[in-house]
Amino acid sequence: MENLLVQKYGGTSVGDAERIKRVAERIKSYYENGYKLVVVVSAMGHTTDELIALASQISENPPKREMDMLLATGEQVSVALLAMALHEIGVNAVSFNALQIRIRTDSTFTNARIEKIETERLLQNLEQNKVCIVAGFQGVDAEENITTLGRGGSDTTAVALAAALQAKECEIYTDVDGVYTADPNKVKGARKHEVISYDEMLELASLGAGVLHSRSVEFAKKYGVILHVRSSFNFNKGTLVVPEEQMMEKLLVSGVTLKTDEARVSLTDIPDRPGIAAEIFSALAAQKINVDMIVQSTGKDNKNTISFTIPAKDLRQAREILELLLKQWGTGSVSFDENIAIVSAVGVGMKSHSGVAASMFRALADRGINIEMISTSEIKISCVIAKDRGREALQVVHDVFGLHEL
């Protein structure tokens, strides 16, 4: 639809009644300029964190299905309030939850994937000139259980809707002016990008740049949705996320990130024979545990060591799986370390330049920061370091690539 805009407002942007009213005014200005609007909202402020904390007072390990039932309530509050605020200023708006517009997902509770969205009801309402307000972050599975898309998942709801409705653009309104070379709340001298490629944004998002949910970027790339990340507190142009071909300049390093919610698992003295790695990683994958960096040392005396990182929240489950395997093999031991952080540098220019990794390693070494694991791809370098050196490492890597001067 030519004049259709999808807008998404994050938690801070709808943090209290005053802010919700301000968002309503912004929506009204687009509405009066002739746009059709589908607006996705997150839960107010820290609601999702508060709900998680509440659940933990009841149970140490709540059933994931019930967790999603609880978490989805946050977004249902904000869609209703925003629709009311729009009515107050004379804009016809209607709110929907995921069940009402059938945002179909798989059944991976707390981290579900969107499979299909039915657009019929939204299109009907848009035709009647209503602004459609949709609850972000939630979905329904084939049995009509409520699911959620993983923390930060409202971005993905917005992009999936933009793709399904063939919107002109998907605007992500947040509390910063766009995508920066590093988290501007953590790094001195971080600079805003005018444009960034899908691939770089995808790496940045999966490596810890919380400004966009990584699956939203995957969707945007797959369906060619133009993403515009901007602030809900001003009218400045933000950052456009576009295909790499549209980038005039290919930066050597376009961003650095820090991830602090991963843990390292080390399996030592395990059998050195074909099939062992397959056994470990199939068992983890069967429980939907995402493994990131993997390092295997050279075997000795028919014994081997494999280390890898997983999300810290999955440690308990991983421990159960791995201890079972060790028992079956009758040898080896497992240890866990939550005291790690992953610092990464990302840039499409790395494809054609050497020496980027060396500069990063040197900069960390000069500060006496020990590198515990390394992983690289065509456009990124990641190092595992001690958690308490994380912030310093982030700044140091940002400085060494001169990103404050972009």
10 or 347: CB nearest Mg ion:
10
Size of the site for ligand ADP (CB under 6 A): 19
Q: Residue 121 is encoded by which pair of tokens?
A: 């009801």
Are residues 137 and 70 in contact, defined by beta-carbon separation less than 8 angstroms?
no
132 or 276: CB nearest ligand ASP:
132
Name the residue with tokens 């659940």. 55
Min. distance of Cβ 213 from ligand ASP in angstroms?
7
Q: Residue 399 is encoded by which pair of tokens?
A: 């400085």
If binding is defined by CB under 5 A, does position 152 make contact with Mg ion? Answer: yes
Q: Which of 151, 191, 313, 404 binds ligand ASP (CB under 6 A)?
A: 151
Residue nearest to Mg ion (CB): 152
Pairing of strands 169-174, 4-9: parallel
* Interacting positions 246-285 with ligand ADP (CB under 6 A): 255
If binding is defined by CB under 6 A, does position 153 make contact with ligand ASP? Answer: yes
Are residues 179 and 240 in contact, defined by beta-carbon separation less than 8 angstroms?
no
Min. distance of Cβ 208 from ligand ADP in angstroms?
7
Site string for ligand ADP, 123-152 (x = CB under 6 A): -----------------------------x
List 375's β-bridge partners, or say none.
382
- Considering CB distances under 5 to 8 angstroms, the limit depending on partner class, which of ligand ADP, ligand ASP, Mg ion, none binds residue 109? none
Q: Which of 15, 139, 152, 208 binds ligand ASP (CB under 6 A)?
A: 152
If binding is defined by CB under 6 A, does position 236 make contact with ligand ADP? Answer: no
Min. distance of Cβ 112 from ligand ADP in angstroms?
18
- Considering CB distances under 5 to 8 angstroms, the limit depending on partner class, which of ligand ASP, ligand ADP, Mg ion, none binds residue 136? ligand ASP
Are residues 340 and 262 in contact, defined by beta-carbon separation less than 8 angstroms?
yes
Are residues 325 and 278 in contact, defined by beta-carbon separation less than 8 angstroms?
no
DSSP 147-164: EE--TTTHHHHHHHHHHH
DSSP 249-297: S--S--EEEEE-SEEEEEEEEEE-STTHHHHHHHHHHHTTPPP--EEEP
172 or 373: CB nearest ligand ADP:
172
DSSP 307-321: EEEEEGGGHHHHHHH
Interface residues with ligand ASP (CB under 6 A)?
A: 10-11, 42-43, 48, 74, 136-137, 151-154
Interface residues with Mg ion (CB under 5 A)?
A: 10, 152
